Amino acid sequence: NAGVTQTPKFRVLKTGQSMTLLCAQDMNHEYMYWYRQDPGMGLRLIHYSVGEGTTAKGEVPDGYNVSRLKKQNFLLGLESAAPSQTSVYFCASSDRDRGGDTQYFGPGTRLTVL
């Protein structure tokens, strides 16, 4: 099993450009999450999904959109990138039957917005 994978691993954008980050998991998990990690801030939840076709806002959703068309995939979109969105983005998944307790993370995407 690959676990949780993320593409791309690195990306540099100019202000105003758009992009989509892809997260895929092969563990048949119901819950999926997108976080961003900034120095001194800890991981902050952007959006999450409790099942295929559902999404919900997390702590810092502004400037991002998500879609969960297939159970195994969770996409994070930036419509018009801003320098404040420079961060490391982590996707995670967890098992509904365990109350979402243990989250398995992907390797992260390092995004720089110039």
Residues near other proteins (CB under 8 A): 31, 33, 35, 40-45, 48, 50, 56, 58, 90, 94, 99-103, 105-108
14: number of CA atoms within 13 Å, CB side? 0
Rounded Cα–Cα distance for residues 39 and 51 (Å): 30
Scan for tokens 């295929």, then name that residue. Answer: 52
Question: Cβ of residue 16: shortest distance to other proteins, in angstroms?
Answer: 28
Beta carbon nearer to other proteins, 17 or 30: 30
Beta carbon nearer to other proteins, 63 or 108: 108
Beta carbon nearer to other proteins, 85 or 93: 93
Rounded Cα–Cα distance for residues 67 and 53 (Å): 7
Which of 71, 16, 19 is CA-nearest to residue 7?
19
Beta carbon nearer to other proteins, 17 or 71: 71
Question: Cβ of residue 37: shortest distance to other proteins, in angstroms?
Answer: 9
Question: Cβ of residue 51: shortest distance to other proteins, in angstroms?
Answer: 10
- Would you state the structure tokens that stand for residue 68, as one six-digit string? 């969960």
